[in-house]
Amino acid sequence: MDAVKGTRIYHIDNALKAGQRAYTLMLNLKSALVGAKRWGYLDIVKGKKIVTFLKRRRIRKAEYIANNASRALVEFNRVLTNLNQNPNFSYSLGRHGVFFDYFFDNAFYDLIVQSRINGNIRKADNTIKQIERILQNLEKEKVELLKG
C-alpha cells in the first residue's frame, strides 16, 4: 500500500468514527423528541401541569442531546473536509416556548409546540439519512482501497 492510499484510509477511518458518533447522537436525539411528542399528545388531550412538566423534561433532554449532536456534526464536517467532502451538516433545536407552554397551558399552544417537535423530528430524520449515506460511501471507498 502506498502512502497516498494509507493517508486516504487514515482520513476515512477518522471520518467513520466522527460520523458514527454524530449518527448515534442523532438517533438519541430523535428518540428523545419522539418521547416529547408522545407526552405532547397527552398534554393536548389532558392539559394538566404535570403532563406539561413531563413533556418539557423530554424537550430539555432533547436540547441537551442536540447540543452534543451539533458539536459532533461540526467535527464530522471537519474530518470530511480532509476527504474533499463538504456536506455542511448542522443541527439546532428550535425553541419551544417554555414560558408560554406553562402560562398558556391550552390545546392551541400545545398544538404549536407539537408542530415544532414534529418539525425537529423530520430534521433529525433527514440528517440521520444523510449521515447513513455518507458512512456507506466511506465504507465502500475504504473496501475498494484495501482491495486494490
Q: What pLDDT is stored for residue 91 in this prediction?
A: 74
Q: Residue 136 burial (CB < 10 Å; 0-12/13-18/19+)?
A: exposed
- What does the DSSP 8-state code read for residue 48? -
Q: What is the mean pLDDT of residues 42-65?
A: 81
Q: What pLDDT is stored for residue 81 in this prediction?
A: 92
Lowest mean pLDDT among 19-33, 50-64, 132-146: 50-64
54-102 pLDDT, tens digit per residue, is 888 888 899 999 999 999 999 999 999 988 887 777 777 765 554 445 4
- Please give the grid coordinates belonging to residue 106: 391550552
Q: What angle do CA 2, 147, 138 make, to 5 degrees?
A: 90
> Contact, 97 vs 59, CB < 8 A?
no
Q: DSSP for 76-141?
A: HHHHHHTTT--------PPP--HHHHHHT-SHHHHHHHHHHHHHHHHHHHHHHHHHHHHHHHHHHH
CA pair distance 41, 140, nearest whole angstrom:
42
pLDDT at 129 over 90: yes
**Residue given cell 407526552 in the structure block:** 39
